[in-house]
Structure 1
Amino acid sequence: MCYKTIIAGALAAAAYTLPAHAQVSDDVLKIGVLTDMAGVAADITGKGSVVAAEMAVEEFSSTVLGKPIQIISADHQHKADIGASIARKWLDVENVDAIADIPNSAVALAIQNLAREKKRIALFSGAGSTALTNDQCSPYGFHWTYDTYSVSHGTASAVVKAGGASWFMLASDYAFGHQLAKDAGDVVKASGGDVLGEVLHPLGTADFSSFLLQAQSSGAKVIGIANAGADTVNAIKQAGEFGIVEQGQSLAALILFLQDVHSLGLAVAKGTYLTTASYWDIDDQSRVWSEKFKSRTGMMPSMVHAGVYGSVLHYLKAVEKAGTDDAGKVAAAIRELPINDAFTHDAHVREDGRVLRDMYLARVKEPSASKGEWDYFEIVSKIPAADTVWPLDKSTCPLVKK
């Protein structure tokens, strides 16, 4: 278990004049970044998520309600029991006020239940399961960046429209992969296509040969890659070694991150469609923030990094508005305040805890079109916020008014 602590502005807190109603328990606001430091999602979350949280604190002003802000972090190792054990210690012993990032949907669902029980804030950026804002929703849980519905909807519909009507799903065997394959399959069918089959692989597997052979033998026009991080990179690389694309099938990565393309290279990933919540090169504001992030990490931010930054910054604004770190009052402020940061403009939180934001349909550039390192995405179109989220009239969240 790896912990890192940063305490910002302790001296400044003493000189701050508090409003009469302000109240922060233990005289410090603690935020825990529960992430993946060494596993399949380390590049898109991990240390970059900790840096993103630190940058949010710095942007906010380093103190809130006159009290210092403390960022701690730990590695959940993609195990729900380990993640829950860390979170329980944070909440019960270390008095952590909010937990952020939480890649891996199985871990995230465990934290959602624990945070609900303990009445603490959970800010999900790395997890993708729609269950977080459906049957497992919480008054204190907020799904910030993306979910399996949003990324599969944009990508699958675009591929079907381009002629990829028959699909075979290659999915990781845990909650995120199951949901991603299902959501993409639903979009394919709704768009007039068909799903011919599915195969599940273990998280972090090194050998995709048997799974890819099953997909190849299905005769489907498109192999949907329903996993994330290193698993996506390895699956696409090995598909290239098998000559799957050259033999007439296409690959559709249902979630593909900037770091994945960096690992694959444009020659391998070119032309791939994806849906993303953010991109470093959208506008001047995103470019300035991303260059600062790159100076600290050596890479441009993934959409998860951008989401961690945005969720922590908005949480701090909500604490300031509420005048307290009381989770119920802060949660109300989170829902009330508009979301504005370097990547998000005038978004808001729905009653089920899902952030309602515009997203982007992107395509990986041809090598000749790239201006340099990290210039990998061409933004094809903006996807309206209403088209990126599970419809409320189909929601199973108890918080949604019927």
Structure 2
Amino acid sequence: MYKSILLLICMLSCLPLLSNASIFSNILGGVVSVVKLVREVIDMFTTSTEEKQLEHLTQEMSTLKRAMNSSNGRLLQMMKETSYKTVLTDSIDKIESCEKDYYNYLANKSNATRKNLEKCHDIIENVRTLGKYLSGKSILNTPPLLDLYKDGNGVCDGAVINGVFKYVFSNLAVGCSVVRTTEALTHESRTNLYDDECKTIMNDVLNYMESEYNGCAPKSCNTFHNHVQSKLASHTSLTAGALHGNLSEMYPWFNFLVFRFGNSGKATKAGNFSLGHDDGIWLLGHRYDIFYFDARIQISQQNQKYLLLIEVHEKYLKGSYFGNVSMETTHYAGGTFKVFQGYASENNVYCAKPNTYTVVGEEGKEGNQSNGADPRRTQLPVIWCILIVFYFLCG
């Protein structure tokens, strides 16, 4: 009896919230992490049964590594460890030489171009070398390659790791395409030894990078605020989308929800999905609310076990960007407030705690932002009402 009365009251209270629903969805436009890249290449390499499909994959990888080199300079020349620089450069140079033979053969399938390409079967050794160091093996008396880009406390430099590892892996993928083609030409598609070995090498790289990202993520929590604020200090005011791109490059192991405000306004979270939260990043009169969580977790509009609700005051919101996270948007109170709603099948465990740092706004006023009252904080009666309704409907 009492449950029915409470449910009825809540449903009547929520009627304004349930109107004007729309879909909030953005396609990821920032940097793709090494883990996502490797996973996508494995899928493409596995399903590429036709020559044209393999050619398309090779072209994609060739374009990627050329673009990265042109935008970052000669990436391997920036490496800290000379021994890695020497070994990796030697293997990449040999793969790039055979890459030219590969494209020459595709452009003109003559006996001469075929013979030149068939000679490239031995670059499987160079593919193995790249795979070895991308999957955690180390040169004698040196740390593993990825460890070169961690500080003394084990905090990872995500941007450099992404750049170096994506560049080296794109060369590995090109090498695999070349040796797979040479094997098909030499043995008339009767064997697929190189094909199988390349899949094994790529999966070893994927498993290692996933493990390393799992280690990098929790190490990032305590330094997140100061690192982000210092990195962005030289920027002028950024759009929510531009900041999302910067964050995705710095922390490829996280997904981000970015809200941009003026001097007033705040994003308030509810629901049983846990996530990191930094509400103290300032850039030239704008404050940013940043929510972040494990990049492997997908948030969507499909009803699942974990609920995430974020409420903002429409008047103060200057922009928002969520990358590949899909959330439903609802307005209430005459359009004054906006609620973003999404679900996940598993909960996030990284950085899921209140802020404990002291925020210094541009006006120079300090204040602890962990759990104290904030004059910018909006009220959440309707959000809690939704949770109660869900409890009765789904419980």
**TM-score, with structure 2 as normaliser:** 0.25
Q: With CA pairs under 8 Å and 6+ residues apart, which has the higher RCO, 1 or 2?
A: 2
TM-score by length of 1: 0.24
1 or 2, which has the higher helix percentage? 2
